[in-house]
Structure 1
Amino acid sequence: MTDSWPTWPQWTEADLDAVRAVLDSGRWNGVDAPAVTAFEQRWAASTGARHALCVANGTDALLLGLRALGIGPGDEVIVPAYTFLATATAVALAGATPVFADIDPDTYCLDPAAVDAAVTPRTAAVIVVHLGGHPADLDAIGALCRRRALALVEDAAHAHGARHRDRPVGALADLGSWSFQGSKNLTAGEGGALTTNDDALAERIRSLRNQGRVTGGAWYEHHVLGWNSRMTAMQAALLGVGLDRLPDQVRAREAAAGYLDEQLSGMVTPQGRAGWATVHAHHLYLFRYDRGPVGEFVTALRGLGVPAVPGYPVPLYRQPLFADRYATVHLPETERACRETVWLPHELLLAPLERIADVVSAVEKAHQ
């Protein structure tokens, strides 16, 4: 296997044209820059949300969302521990306490029963992560949050284009949080967004991301403690062109992942697919390998030309940042996922199916 795999990010002349248009406009920044508001309108429509609000990055999106929900000191927020660090650090940055709950072993998303068991009188919210692009169980966790009067946030950083029961993720909870960082399926290098159907939440986020200014207020008039979390117009222009390509890319990833699921079954255990996952975004193609050390298996795959990596190596509660405070936490499915999971990047799934077959051949050889 000597041919290279698809690279990421990808761009065309359309991206250059979009950036040139922003350069020519002279409107390079500002929450009301035409390129920013145009992308917000398109992203809201794409996700089925009434509001989309662009921000500086995905971590800010989570933090702004929590702040807009009024979450802070004294509150607890339930999060998975098999996720990127920002899901938990955004909670800590808001002044609240992350509480880690275990994942479902098939989907890698939060286990509703584990969430239910983690609720205390101090719990204010739950953040579900659509891990790898697979929608979390919003039916069960949504019902739990309504019953217990908890806010629900979708961390959709992996899930551009994913659908839960044929409805786009990102507008199925109080808030949806998005990242457009360089590795993401829709990217401008950096950037983020929040989506919501709640008018009041949207207005609070508009203020918080723009130094506490309010709609209709004067430029030097600040009402709340906010900060600068504004997206540039050039980023928004790139995202608009990327959004044009996204539907075809989602279909290509679904086809490639379906092929791998079928061909690899029996050698490894691909990430499960729940019935509600109408569309899986496949930011990652995940599978379990439990017949030896994952590191050695990944090294063998890479030697055969497949750009595999181990998954998250430790749960978040074993990160140095959290380890002392959470020394007694033990989540068996999360820890098993850290030992056994292999990732393939989403751009690999954009290769022709005949090239994807090389992954199957490599797994067969590395598996022997």
Structure 2
Amino acid sequence: MEKNISQNGAPNPRRSFLKSSGALTAGLLLGSTLKAADTFHINGSAATPAILGGDPVRRAAWTKWPIWKPETDEQRVVDVIRSGIWSRASVVTEFEKEWAAALGVKRSLAVVNGTNALVVALNQLHIKTGDEILVPPYTFIATITAVLSNGAMPVFVDIDPDTYQIDPAKLEAKITPRTKAIMPVHILGLPADMDRIMAIAKKHNLVVVEDACQAHLAEYGHKKVGTFGNAGCFSFQNSKNLAIGEGGAVVSDDDAFMDRCFSYQNYGYPYGTMAGVVGAGSTMQGTKVRLTEYQAAIGLSLLKRLDAETTARNNNAAYLKSQLGGIPGVRPYKLYDKVTRGAFHLFPFRYSEAAFKGLPREAFLKAMRAEGIPCSGGYTVLNNQLFLKDAFESKAYQNSYPKEQLNFEKYVADNRCPENEKLCKEAVWFTQNMLLGPKTDMDDIAAAIARIQKNADKIKLAAKT
């Protein structure tokens, strides 16, 4: 999660997209909330698309992200800077308590980023070389990096095509004697089916680590995601719904586990139930991924707005989904019946090239941007990425797994996820900051899509000439 590059070394489309869409200042359109049809009339859905020389649907700026209000947000940070106490101390502890309270969980441990939150949690649940972890293919690379960092083997389980989440119906077929954990990812801030996942984990005696890095305050059955499994992990990277720049957290109700995590992220020094050896130094092999005081101060300032912002995202997401439902070729996300709140770190839908008269998705995205609507095609396929091959060729993996399991071509074939491959070709994303404005912002998005749909054949023809 640290660099603006993708798995293959090219510019990271998610980070570049987040940066471009979040760099604009907030702007409100005049007038009350309008129905999509009215907005289409005002903006001229039948008019020439911007990419063909017409006026764009939108010229106004989008809500800037992160939102920073000097009058309410700066004093806490300034106080920390002036104190000279910048390494982990009381402010980090305060942030951990506030984050745990926001989730309704007993304990929270802040670390340097969401990636390392996952690394620490897996490590202290005793995931090690030789173990297999069931993971979804539709996720950011950090999910898989955390598994590899602990010497374990990621086993990809295909997605539910409607919700984009790991499909519980496909989990048990992937379980082997080496399987030790399930790692559901509440990707895009949309909750996974935790009832079925937890039931399968209990049946097979597997631990569950929830990657909730994009799912701040999302709920499944009125319970916050990240609090169902043995551990939940969050990210506070700059694009996230709670933005600190970098940062992450592990949460759990298990005191012994959390004490081990604290010890591990602080050189293995004794802590809590890990203490008790007189005169001893570190009691375990550890690392150093502590959060700083000024990062925690930023988090405490912004946490005060997170609940209201989450409500705004949910309201706008529901409205935008209703506006898109009647446009041919647009298939919005679906939430599981027990989802009571989304985080909507991203608003996704599936794009049908055929329904847009054969207009390729990349041409659609380009046309949308010309209309003043930032958008992205999202993730690419993960299970064939060369970082996996690099790990498998290391001595640690060569000495711990059967040779046939490390055959990269066989691994890629065994871990193919057809539904995910389709989604990677069809997905379109809007970032969470775009859901923080008035409903008229949503009308602009719908109007742009409708305009492109109506003129898809002209756009396609122009792209060929």
Same structural fold, with TM-score higher than 0.5 when normalized by the shorter chain: yes
Matched, 1:308 2:351: no
Matched, 1:221 2:284: no
Q: Residues 1-368 of structure 1 correspond to what in structure 2 (within 5 A)?
A: 1-13=58-70, 14-30=72-88, 33-215=89-271, 221-267=281-327, 268-291=330-353, 292-312=359-379, 314-322=380-388, 324=408, 326-328=411-413, 329-368=415-454
Q: CA deviation at 1:15?
A: 2.3
Aligned residues: 365
Q: CA deviation at 1:67?
A: 0.4
What whole-Å deviation, never above 9, does each CA across 1:57-101 have from its counterpart, x for those lacking one? 111000100000000011000001110001111101101100000
> Which amino acid in 1 is paired with 2:337?
G
Q: CA deviation at 1:220?
A: 8.2
Q: Quick check: 1:306–1:359 contact (8 Å CA) kept in 2?
A: yes
> Which amino acid in 1 is paired with 2:74?
L
> Which amino acid in 2 is paired with 1:76?
E
Q: CA deviation at 1:214?
A: 1.1
Rounded Cα–Cα distance in structure 2 between residues aligned with 1:293 and 1:158: 28
Q: Quick check: 1:213–1:219 contact (8 Å CA) kept in 2?
A: no
User: Identity over the aligned pairs, expressed in percent?
Assistant: 42
Q: CA deviation at 1:275?
A: 1.1
Deviates more, 1:16-25 or 1:315-324: 315-324
Rounded Cα–Cα distance in structure 2 between residues aligned with 1:27 and 1:307: 40
Q: CA deviation at 1:336?
A: 0.7
Uncovered stretches (5+) of structure 2, i.e. residues with no partner:
1-57, 354-358, 390-407, 455-465
Change (3 A) 1:16 1:150: same
Q: Which has the larger radius of gyration?
A: 2
> Which amino acid in 2 is paired with 1:170?
G
Q: Quick check: 1:298–1:309 contact (8 Å CA) kept in 2?
A: yes
Rounded Cα–Cα distance in structure 2 between residues aligned with 1:266 and 1:151: 42
Rounded Cα–Cα distance in structure 2 between residues aligned with 1:366 and 1:133: 27
Q: CA deviation at 1:229?
A: 0.6
Q: Quick check: 1:49–1:170 contact (8 Å CA) kept in 2?
A: no
SS in 1 for 2:203: helix
What's the TM-score once normalised by structure 2's chain length?
0.77
Rounded Cα–Cα distance in structure 1 between residues aligned with 2:441 and 2:122: 43
Rounded Cα–Cα distance in structure 2 between residues aligned with 1:96 and 1:270: 35
Rounded Cα–Cα distance in structure 2 between residues aligned with 1:260 and 1:115: 32
Uncovered stretches (5+) of structure 1, i.e. residues with no partner:
none
Deviates more, 1:344-353 or 1:324-333: 324-333
Q: CA deviation at 1:219?
A: 10
Q: Quick check: 1:316–1:322 contact (8 Å CA) kept in 2?
A: no
> Which amino acid in 2 is paired with 1:308?
C
SS in 1 for 2:162: coil
Alpha-carbon RMSD across the aligned residues, in angstroms, is 1.4
Q: Quick check: 2:156–2:416 contact (8 Å CA) kept in 1?
A: no
> Which amino acid in 2 is paired with 1:282?
F
Q: Quick check: 1:65–1:175 contact (8 Å CA) kept in 2?
A: yes
Q: CA deviation at 1:293?
A: 2.0
> Which amino acid in 1 is paired with 2:221?
R
